[in-house]
Each structure stands twice: as C-alpha cells, then as structure tokens.
C-alpha cells in the first residue's frame, strides 16, 4: 500500500509570507490596549466562574467591561481621526 501525504509544511515552513508584515505589526500595536483590556475582562470572568460571584467580583467585571469599552472608543477615535490615503477625507 502506498501512502499519499502532503509536503506543504516542508515547503511553506520558512516562506516569507508566514511572518507578519510591518503594517500588521503596527496594527497589532495600535490595538494592544483593546487586547489587554479584553484579557483583563476574561481574567475577571474566570475568577468568578469557580464560585458564586460576590459584590467584589461583580465590580471587577464591570470595571473590566468599562475598560474594554473605553479602549475600543479610543481606538475608534484614533482611526476615525486618521486621514485617508490620497488626501480624501
């Protein structure tokens, strides 16, 4: 019996397109406050999973949600204020 296997991993393992571009890295860096606020929210929710959430847990989750919303708002304001390519507004 002859097995047919793919060699795509061997061919594309070191391809240039596998690495993020500078523009992608800049976009990730710009979105980092939103990402970190989301991580804080998930952490607060995980803490509350093991037990019945008390008032401190509820406050922690509410604060984390507000931080996520604030970070998203700031990101939206930054991208809305950026000029479009070609000078169009």
What pTM does this model have?
A: 0.68
Cα→Cα distances 78→17, 31, 71, Å: 28, 10, 11
- For the segment 63-74, what is each residue's pLDDT rounded down to a tens digit? 999 999 999 999
User: For the residues 40-60, what does the mean pLDDT come to?
Assistant: 94
User: For the residues 33-39, what does the mean pLDDT come to?
Assistant: 97
* Position 46 confidence tier, pLDDT thresholds 50, 70, 90: very high
In a domain, 11, yes or no: no
In a domain, 4, yes or no: no
The answer to whether 33 and 75 are in contact (CB under 8 A) is: yes
> So what's the pLDDT on residue 71?
97
Domain count, the chain: 1
Structure tokens at 56: 């401190």
In a domain, 13, yes or no: no
Torsion of CA 68, 74, 75, 78, to 10 degrees: 180
Cα–Cα dist 40/79, whole Å: 23
In a domain, 88, yes or no: no
């Amino acid at each position: 019996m002859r097995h047919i296997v793919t060699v795509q991993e061997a061919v594309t393992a070191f391809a240039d397109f596998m690495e993020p571009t500078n523009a992608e890295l800049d976009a990730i860096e710009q979105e980092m406050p939103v990402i970190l606020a989301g991580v804080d929210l998930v952490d607060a929710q995980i803490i509350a999973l093991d037990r019945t959430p008390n008032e401190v847990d509820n406050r922690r989750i509410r604060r984390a949600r507000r931080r996520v919303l604030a970070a998203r708002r700031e990101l939206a304001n930054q991208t809305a204020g950026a000029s479009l390519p070609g000078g169009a507004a």
